[in-house]
């Protein structure tokens, strides 16, 4: 039975290691790997992620020798294996045999092999080949003692258009709508003469001359997401049948990929795992780590999860056309951030930097410079340190890893909807709105969960909705019930303006929330980018504003005379409505950082939610993790000054008792076992 078997992940120690590609290296290098893995206390290797052509060089002709040997060798060395199915990269022979299974871009260009992810998830030949290689691997390695986790595929995310997808899309639509009449009505195809008289005319979103139909765009994204879920589900079924003791995962690329609905994908697997790469080599990168970790923990239902990939240093910043370097000490601080927020391991892409190949200048645990390097020394020191901290990843006896009273609503549908064309402003985008809220809360010292709009909202005291354009009647009712029962709800501008089909709710924008918010939004007033508004309370906002009338709510802050001429100075900008036993707040504009922070602090204080980390303003991240029957206080000093925090217990990194105050050097990390019952004051 795998150590992760059963309903809850149980890890014996902090998983530490990375993607390992023994098929690329000579015997001499493999021998050195054994030695270096021991030095760095590597205990986990992810094997086989893109190895299809090495495993099956010709159709149906397998070559398992290298993998047999690798698994045996790793096992003998005490390294557990996360074994991947290689389905993210079919070999060249697959293209030769199944040209129709290649992905087609929206402009009709059919792609070919030569990179990775060249397959159409809707193509029967691809699906059949993926099932077959999964079955072959599960049969052969499903009970190998080294294998502790199935890593199914890699970063699902392929989207394809073209004739093969058209067929699958039509089937999906037929199931959803039943009749063409229903589809025509829901998509309002009378607009621009798009009325369909035959299912064969419905296309999987090819490039169009001008704006496409937004409801079609949203449905295509939902369809593509369901397709990827089906691909995952069929691999899960196969390995559960042939390898029932080994749990399953697939690595989500967070937080920038939205090709599927993470809530739905998480339902299919046993262990949530994520890949995470910093978006900023400056201080903002730390908030990004917390953001990805809070998402991962939430997708895992509050339970432990696995960091499948982070980088040791250089990684592409695709927007800027260059690679970013991690400063000394950052790998360690980031790793403790992930661990504090629920990760039971920290793996890296990749163990050894390749000599050539598409990502040849990407960083690794063993860089091109070899083991005599800053990066390897940092990694080895970290591995040795983590080897002494097994207790921090013990699964909590009473459920959730972190306590959070505040939740932010995260929805694939809302993200896709906000990205459909013809929105009134680029500033209604989903991800920036959600990140702004999370960042403000991180800076205020609040630990935050994410929830689906379909989740049980009652697990949190405060639910924040930064951006949620499509809202169904059922969801609308559940938000109102949450407030009536005593919850605090905050809704961001533009949310709830359509139903789930992206059909505008008439009679005032934000219709899905209008009742609970006690407001009537008569007009949207997008602003030119860079416009700054000063509200009556001095807070600054911009980008977006609205003509709001009160229908029972009270005004918290109003627009002033710098508002757009259609908004009368003094009219409501920020409101609060008592509803049942709770309160519903509305922001009809987008605040700058200070404004958002001030308003969120006010609302959370009003809801009685005190920040868990009172040292946040000093650049200290303090997060409490439940482990076994104990709690561990992680104190991560991101600042360039030593910082003092209040703590009582036993500090694990230095092995010292803490009886009131803990001094943490600039850039350093401490972990305090707090639970007196577990012997807080003793090693």
Is 154 a known ligand-binding residue?
Answer: yes
Contacts of 320 (CB under 8 A, 6+ apart): none
Cα dihedral 160/161/165/168 (nearest 10): 90
In whole angstroms, give the CA distance from residue 674 to residue 148: 31
In whole angstroms, give the CA distance from residue 135 to residue 239: 7
Judged by CB under 6 A, the chain residues 322 through 361 that form the site for ligand GLA are 349, 359
Report if residue 317 touches ligand GLA, rule: CB under 6 A: no
Segments of 1-68 assigned E as strands: 15-20, 44-47
Among 259, 352, 362, 505, binds ligand GLA (CB under 6 A): 362
Count CB-CB contacts under 10 A for residue 73: 16
Residue nearest to ligand GLA (CB): 275
Nearest approach in angstroms of CB 122 to ligand GLA is 22
In whole angstroms, give the CA distance from residue 474 to residue 184: 23
Both tokens of 623, joined, read 């997060």
Q: Check 56, 155, 286, 621 and give the catalytic one.
A: 155
Q: Which stretch binds ligand GLA (CB under 6 A): 307-315, 454-462, 475-483, 494-502?
A: 307-315
Q: Active site includes 385?
A: no
Report if residue 33 touches ligand GLA, rule: CB under 6 A: no
Report if residue 252 touches ligand GLA, rule: CB under 6 A: no
Nearest approach in angstroms of CB 320 to ligand GLA is 15
Contacts of 271 (CB under 8 A, 6+ apart): 4, 9, 149, 247, 248, 249, 300, 305, 306
Nearest approach in angstroms of CB 49 to ligand GLA is 6
Looking at the Cβ atoms of 323 and 423, the one nearer to ligand GLA is 323
Report if residue 187 touches ligand GLA, rule: CB under 6 A: no
Is 120 a known ligand-binding residue?
Answer: no
Q: How many residues bind ligand GLA (CB under 6 A)?
A: 11
Q: Which stretch binds ligand GLA (CB under 6 A): 64-72, 308-316, 566-574, 606-614?
A: 308-316
Burial class (CB in 10 A: 0-12, 13-18, 19+), 599: buried
Among 13, 166, 226, 275, binds ligand GLA (CB under 6 A): 275
Contacts of 359 (CB under 8 A, 6+ apart): none
Is residue 103 within 8 Å of residue 160, measured between CB atoms? yes
Report if residue 309 touches ligand GLA, rule: CB under 6 A: yes
Q: Active site includes 155?
A: yes
Nearest approach in angstroms of CB 363 to ligand GLA is 9
Judged by CB under 6 A, the chain residues 154 through 173 that form the site for ligand GLA are 154-155
Q: HEC profile for 628-644?
A: CCEEEEEEEECCCCCEE
Q: Check 286, 309, 378, 612 and give the catalytic one.
A: 309
Nearest approach in angstroms of CB 316 to ligand GLA is 7
Which contiguous run of DSSP H or E holds residue 129? helix 124-141
Looking at the Cβ atoms of 277 and 376, the one nearer to ligand GLA is 277
Report if residue 315 touches ligand GLA, rule: CB under 6 A: yes
In whole angstroms, how far apart are CA 458 and each of 6, 253, 292, 401, 454?
27, 29, 23, 18, 12
Looking at the Cβ atoms of 41 and 151, the one nearer to ligand GLA is 151
* Nearest CA among 191, 200, 71 for reference residue 141: 71
- The annotation places the binding site for substrate at 116, 154
Enzyme catalytic residues: 155, 309
- Residue numbers of the site for ligand GLA (CB under 6 A)? 154-155, 253, 275, 277, 309, 311, 315, 349, 359, 362
């Amino acid at each position: 039975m795998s150590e992760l078997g059963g309903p809850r992940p149980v890890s014996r120690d902090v998983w530490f290691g990375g993607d390992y590609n023994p098929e690329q290296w000579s015997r001499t290098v493999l021998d050195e790997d054994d030695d270096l893995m021991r030095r760095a206390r590597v205990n986990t290797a992810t094997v086989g992620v893109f190895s299809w052509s090495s495993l099956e060089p010709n159709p149906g002709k397998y070559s398992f020798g290298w993998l047999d040997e690798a698994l045996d060798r790793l096992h003998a060395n005490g390294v557990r294996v996360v074994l991947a199915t290689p389905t993210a990269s079919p070999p060249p022979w697959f293209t030769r045999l199944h040209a129709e299974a290649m992905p087609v871009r929206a402009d009709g260009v059919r792609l070919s092999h030569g990179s990775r992810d060249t397959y159409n998830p809707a193509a029967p030949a691809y699906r059949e080949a993926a099932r077959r290689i999964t079955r072959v691997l599960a049969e052969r390695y499903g009970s190998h003692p080294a294998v502790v986790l199935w890593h199914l595929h890699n970063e699902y995310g392929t989207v394809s258009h073209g004739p093969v997808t058209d067929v699958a899309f039509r089937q999906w639509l037929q199931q959803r709508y039943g009749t063409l009449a229903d589809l025509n009505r829901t998509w309002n195809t009378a607009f621009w003469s798009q009325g369909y008289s035959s299912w064969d005319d419905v296309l999987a979103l090819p490039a169009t001359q001008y704006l496409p139909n937004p409801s079609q765009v949203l449905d295509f994204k939902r369809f593509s997401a369901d397709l990827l879920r089906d691909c995952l589900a069929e691999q899960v079924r196969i390995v559960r049948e042939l390898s029932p003791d080994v749990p399953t995962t697939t690595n989500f690329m967070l937080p920038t990929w939205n090709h599927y609905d993470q809530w739905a994908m998480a339902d299919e697997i046993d262990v949530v795992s994520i890949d995470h790469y910093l978006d900023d080599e400056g201080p903002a990168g730390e908030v990004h780590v917390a953001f990805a970790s809070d998402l991962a923990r939430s997708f895992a239902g509050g339970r432990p999860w696995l960091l499948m990939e982070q980088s040791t240093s250089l990684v592409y910043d695709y927007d800027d056309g260059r690679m970013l370097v991690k400063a000394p000490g950052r790998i360690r601080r980031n790793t403790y951030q992930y661990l504090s927020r629920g990760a039971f391991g920290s793996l890296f892409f990749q163990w050894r930097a390749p000599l050539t190949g598409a990502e040849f200048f990407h960083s690794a645990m063993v860089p091109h410079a070899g083991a005599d390097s800053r990066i390897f020394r940092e990694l080895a020191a970290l591995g040795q340190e983590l080897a002494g901290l097994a207790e921090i990843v013990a699964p909590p006896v009473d459920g959730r890893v972190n306590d959070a009273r505040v939740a932010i609503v995260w929805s694939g549908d809302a993200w896709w909807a906000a990205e459909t064309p013809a929105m009134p402003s680029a500033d209604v985008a989903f991800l920036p709105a959600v990140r702004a809220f999370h960042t403000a809360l991180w800076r205020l010292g609040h630990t935050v969960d994410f929830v689906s709009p379909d989740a049980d909202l009652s697990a949190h005291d405060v639910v924040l909705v930064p951006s949620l354009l499509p809202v169904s009647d059922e969801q609308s009712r559940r938000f109102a019930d949450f407030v009536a029962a005593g919850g605090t709800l905050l809704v961001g501008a533009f949310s709830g303006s359509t139903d789930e089909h992206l059909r505008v709710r008439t009679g005032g924008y934000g219709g899905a929330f209008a009742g609970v918010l006690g407001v009537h939004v008569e007009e949207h007033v997008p602003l030119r980018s860079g416009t700054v508004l000063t509200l009556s309370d001095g807070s600054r906002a911009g980008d977006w504003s609205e003509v709001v009338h009160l229908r029972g709510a009270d005004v918290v802050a109003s627009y002033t005379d710098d508002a757009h001429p259609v908004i009368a100075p003094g009219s409501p900008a920020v409101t609060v409505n008592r509803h049942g036993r709770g309160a519903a707040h509305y922001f009809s504009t987008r605040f700058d950082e200070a404004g958002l922070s001030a308003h969120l602090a006010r609302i959370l204080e009003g809801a009685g939610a005190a920040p868990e980390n009172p040292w946040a303003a000093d650049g200290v991240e303090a997060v409490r993790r439940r482990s076994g029957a104990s709690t561990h206080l992680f104190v991560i000093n991101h600042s360039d000054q030593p910082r003092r925090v209040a703590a009582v217990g036993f500090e694990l990194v230095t092995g010292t008792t803490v009886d009131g105050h803990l001094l943490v050097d600039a850039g350093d990390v401490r972990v305090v076992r707090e639970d007196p019952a577990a012997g807080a004051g003793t090693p």
